[in-house]
Amino acid sequence: MPQNTDALLPIMTGQTVIPVIVLDDAKDAVPLAKALVAGGLPAIEITLRTDAALESIRRVAAEVPEALVGAGTILNAAQFDEAVAAGSKFIVSPGLTPELVEAANGSPVPLLPGAVTSSEIMAALEEGYSLLKFFPAEQAGGAAYLKSLSSPFGGVQFCPTGGVSAKNAPDYLALPNVLCVGGSWVAPKDAVTSGDWNTVTALAKEAAAAG
């Protein structure tokens, strides 16, 4: 079954920067989500890189209805199902496997899988996936490499993440095959741990306006 683009495309075009969040403590999830929403970035990717991730997603989904919480770093079908059960509205993976394709088939929750090489992009297209994550963006060749993919893969559009910052985000967003970028700079770790939500909101406003 092809990618659920009807559900995913509005998320990728709704804001030019999607915050990529790593949370060590679920108590920070709700105030962080509220701060990002206040700054104009309601779609938020919480990565499954910590033990607090699923609980963080549950809390945001339950307590911040104006947010659109997603789950990142999904590596297998079990994690896909857990993230959906926690309330995720979209799923992000650094790659694409037959197991993930099967998990996403028929699900109302869309999958944004990762692809970097031509072979990976072609494999994704064979499965009906044309909206892709480009990760790790800077380490894989950056905006110049991504631009070179626009000719052979004219129907593919990307969300680059990994090394994307306020400084280089405009380089990616200027590309014809980039819809949005993912980045962690809008929620610095020190601001989150100290509860400096005003700083998060200010950074989110800057990111939202930059698009």
Which are the catalytic amino acids? 45, 133
Residue with token string 């380089």: 171
Q: Which of 196, 205, 190, 188 is nearest to 20 (CA)?
A: 188
Q: What are the C-alpha distances in Å from 40 to residues 44, 68, 74, 91, 197?
A: 11, 12, 25, 21, 14
Q: 74 Cβ partners below 8 Å, 6+ apart?
A: 48, 80, 83, 91, 92, 93, 100, 111
Q: Where are the alpha helices (DSSP H) in 134-196?
A: 137-140, 142-148, 169-173, 189-194
Place of tokens 């031509």: 118
Task: Give the span between the Cα atoms of 211 and 209, in whole angstroms.
Answer: 5
**141: nearest Cα among 167, 118, 108, 110:** 118
- Who's near 25: CB < 8 A, 6+ residues apart? 52
